Structure 1
Amino acid sequence: MSEKLIEFRNVSFRYRDEQPWVLNNCSFDIHMNEWAAIIGHNGSGKSTIAKLINGLLFPQEGQILINGKEVNQETVWEIRRDVGMVFQNPDNQFVGTTVQDDVAFGMENRGFTRDKMLEEIDRNLRAVGMQDYRLTEPHRLSGGQKQRVAIAGVLAISPRVMVLDEATAMLDPHGRAEIMDTVSEVRERNDLSLITITHDLQEIVQADRVIVMNGGEVWQEATPREIFEKKNDLQKIGLDAPFAALLADELQLAGVPISRTGPLNHEELLEDIWTLHSKT
């Protein structure tokens, strides 16, 4: 396994002293160039993890290390150079009057030269397919287009890790698929780790590893396929199993043989059915 980039060491957090712990003695690692998905039902602690990674919150107990540096009040601005965040509602991130102004904002704060900013604006808008909208006002964009611009703004500051905190929750299924494809492509072209935080199991199929949160604790760590094989257990902790996995079970109950265990998506399921039945 590659070098550790993010380390949670026995982290506990709660928003008020009289409230229960949102995270309870939580430990896990994220590695360099890894795509890790963090999933869980509402209230499981997954979005709190995103805010802790970026120093928007600090743990009451335990340690968080980013690239070997502990996240605290003294290091938070240095940490944020390594961590780019894309939130659920992109309107909350827009500060520029045009798309290019918004992508330039983070670079201006870091003292990029004008020539470098123009180069990075063009390169990163092209990376997310938004180069034709650079002079457009952000409020005129669709939800999916806004998230693409938010991703371009994050990429422009060259972070070590990009965190998507429920970044597709406000999009329709087509928009979600487009954003996940975009994210997959830009990750392959850029030397960065990716953390996707979601409650939608359809979004984890491309991840290298999945961390399942339940009750503020790490419930399971495994590959997407291994997680999908635990359909009944997932439903017990409030997560719906993917449609392809449920359909595979129903087909087997109906006498249709399925050789693949826990298909990740409907393409795998169709391929399996076609391969098996083309031989009969």
Structure 2
Amino acid sequence: MAKPVISFQNVSFRYDENQPWVLKNVSFEIHKNEWVAIIGHNGSGKSTIAKLLNGLLFPQKGEIAINGKPINEETVWDIRKEVGMVFQNPDNQFVGATVQDDVAFGMENRGIPREEMEKRIDETLQAVGMGEYRLTEPHRLSGGQKQRVAIASVLAVSPEVLILDEATAMLDPRGREEIMHTVANLQQSKELALITITHDLHEVVQADRVIVMNEGEIWDEGLPREIFSKKDELQKIGLDVPFITALAAELQKNGIALQREPLYGEELLEDLWTLYSKM
């Protein structure tokens, strides 16, 4: 099996030695071209994982490696060239007077030649549907447009890992759907390791794998369908399930025997059609 892009090995972290551990002996691996969603209630440790991956924090115990290179104070600047992060509020990431200035900023810090910078600015802005806004001032953009530019700025430095830390939380449902459609296409075309930390269950069901955090530990991990089949257990730790999953459960309680645990509306309709066509 190919070596993982991300390796968490027995990682523990706390913000102060007098406080409880935020993460407790956490281990997992993420591979190239894999989309992993990390979910959990507030305070479960999921955003701390994101900050550890980008070298904003360092673990007190255990080891984190990107492409086999441990993250520490000596390697952190090299690691940040490989790990890009998009936060909840894109305003916190803008530094340029125009959209193109902002996308160029990270590349300038890495000494990328001007000709290559121009090429990447064009490519990344086109990729996120913001090519025509190249000379626009960021404060004139909508929330969804700002988030697209923030993603373009990260992609321009060609990371191998893209982390979205509640990056769609401030957007309306249509904006969230558009951003995640863009990100999913980019992840596939660039073969990124994608990590989404989110409360949006629609995003979670699209992932290849789900890691569920609870009180600083990995409570479970698996395919979205496997995770959401544990409806009662998830609700006990303060997590919800997708609407379709909940609706299917109610139908089965009322004697409607479905063929599977549907995650999507199309699956539920197909099962209902198959069931009633036999009646």
CA-CA distance at 1:241 after TM superposition: 1.0
Shift of 1:171: 1.1
Pair 73,234 (structure 1): closer, same or farther in 2 beyond 3 Å: same
Q: Which residue of 1 aligns with 2:269?
A: 270
TM-score by length of structure 1 reads: 0.96
* CA drift at 1:216: 0.3
- Residue correspondence of structure 1 range 1-280 to structure 2 within 5 A: 1-261=1-261, 263-280=262-279
Cα drift, residue 256 of structure 1: 3.2
Alpha-carbon distance in 1 for matches of 2:200, 2:157: 28
In the TM superposition, what is the alpha-carbon distance from 1:202 to its structure 2 partner?
A: 2.1
Letter in 2 for 1:277: Y
**Letter of the aligned partner of 2:243 in structure 1?**
F
2:263 corresponds to which letter in structure 1?
A: L
Once the two structures are aligned, what percentage of the paired residues are identical? Answer: 71
Give the residue type in structure 1 aligned to 2:184.
Answer: S
Change (3 A) 1:260 1:137: same
Structure 1 residue 65 displacement after superposition = 0.8
The one-character-per-residue Cα deviations of 1:180-213 (angstroms, maximum 9, x if unpaired) are 1111111111121101111232211121111110
SS at match of 1:104: helix
Deviation by residue 1:89-138 (Cα, 9 ceiling, x = unmatched): 10000111111111111111111111111111111111111111111111
Number of aligned residue pairs: give it.
Answer: 279
Structure 2 regions of 5+ residues with no counterpart? none
Deviations 1:41-92 (A, max 9, x none): 1000000000000000001111111111111000000000110000011000
The answer as to whether partners of 1:42 and 1:199 remain within 8 angstroms in 2 is no
The 2-side partners of 1:247 and 1:50 are apart by: 33
Q: Where in structure 1 do 4 or more consecutive aligned residues deviate above 6 Å?
A: none
What secondary structure, in the 3-state scheme, does the structure 2 residue paired with 1:15 have? Answer: coil
- Calculate the TM-score normalised by the size of structure 2: 0.96
In structure 1, runs of 5+ residues without a counterpart are: none
Distance across 2 between alignment mates of 1:178 and 1:119: 24
Q: Which amino acid aligns with 2:264?
A: N
Superposition RMSD on alpha carbons, in Å?
1.3
* Preserved contact between residue 103 and residue 149 of structure 2 (Cα < 8 Å): yes
User: Within 1, Cα distance between the matches of 2:65 and 2:141?
Assistant: 37
Q: Distance in 2 between matches of 1:278 and 1:144?
A: 43
SS at match of 2:11: strand
Deviation at 1:279, TM superposition (A): 4.5
